[in-house]
Amino acid sequence: MDGRKFFPSFTVIVPAYNEEESIAKCIDSILLQTVPPDRIILINDGSSDSTLEIMHLYREIFPERIMVIDIKRNTGKATAMREALPYIKGDVVFFTDADSELDSRAFEYMIRHFLDPEVGGVCGYIKSRKYNMLTGVRELQYILGQEVYKKGEAVLNAVTVIPGSIGAVRREFFHPTADTLTEDMDLTLSLLEKGYKIVYETRAVAWTSDPPNLRSYINQNIRWYSGFFQNIMKHFRDLPRSVKIVVLLLSLESTIFSIILDALLVYGILLGDFLPFIIALLSEIIPWSVVSLYAIIKRRRMDLMKSVLLMPLIKVLDFHTWFYTMVKELLLRKRETAWRRVDRIKLTRERKQHMTI
């Protein structure tokens, strides 16, 4: 029985730039959904590898379901997705990244929420593919951020980001813009401004690829943090009060601790006394480590245990990156415009077979 007859019709959009390593698995996971989309739009954003050829191969196999848009030069994710606007079919637009893979029931769990006319968007639950200790840290951040912060935001109808890896909005509100570095947050805040609900569906899972090295990790954080500040400056005035409170609390927590930590680090460098810096760092690291260990044990993810050891270094990097980005965006008014693409994991055949998903 075709599950689509019971739910709103929808289109899935997948923008891709040099994603030959992962695009096939992404498309496969869409084709295997228990509630299939009416149309799948694959957008090649100026790739120089075999991404376009793989897209066309699927188009030849599924000509009635898959459409390919080829953009000759790289334009950026938001601009690329806008190319799909004239070809969308249905009442809802789903979107995912070409480096992500969706659980087979993701669309089924998400689409049903749009039967409620007050719901404007739905976001899913992100998991990281395990590759090394650094991607393990990102997985722990996803677990803690989604299980604690995002669930709290959902209670207040203040979910600030429908992630690009697994999200859906009503068709009439799908207008991605390129004036911030995080188009997914921009789209989400626009819905909240209009008074719509954002539903957080934890059963709709997407596995995504995360930065495999520190350079890419920092670049990704700079893009995320820059996009955060750009969107806050763009939307804050018109946001509901509950969303403003959530945004301010999250910002103040990171900002105050970043200033304290940097001040104590400078103090230690100048006077040779690093004890205050270490105490301040531990006050942040210990609670996060305890919660991380609890999450690891509860989920039986002992493979993430080594990643806890990286938490002190990563926390220092996160706070310094946040402070640097805040000063640049808010004080110096030097907007970050570069996408800062993350390095992709190049997998050997043997590594692919042993990859944990």
Does the residue 72 lie in any domain?
no
45 located within any domain: no
Instruction: Tell me which residue has tokens 């929420």.
Output: 113
pLDDT at 206: 98
Kindly state whether residue 33 falls inside one of the protein's structural domains: no
Mean per-residue pLDDT, 251-264: 83
How is 202-222 classified by DSSP, letter by letter? EEEEEEE---SSHHHHHHHHH
Give the Cβ contact number of residue 239 at 10 Å.
Answer: 18
Task: Show the domain range for 200.
Answer: 99-357
Whether 142 is covered by a domain: the verdict is yes
Residue 150 banded pLDDT, cuts 50, 70, 90: very high
CATH number for the domain including 199? 3.90.550
Return d(Cα 345, Cα 94) in angstroms, integer. 25
Number of domains present in the structure of the chain: 1
pTM to 2 decimal places? 0.90
123 forms bridges with which residues in the sheet? 167, 200
pLDDT digits (tens, 9 = 90+) for 319-330: 889 989 999 999
Contact 245, 168 (CB under 8 A): no
Query: Are 291 and 144 a contacting pair, CB within 8 Å?
Result: yes
| 6 occurs within a structural domain | no
What is the enclosing helix (H) or strand (E) of 56? helix 51-61
Mean pLDDT score, 135-154? 91
- 77-87 per-position pLDDT tens digit: 999 999 999 99
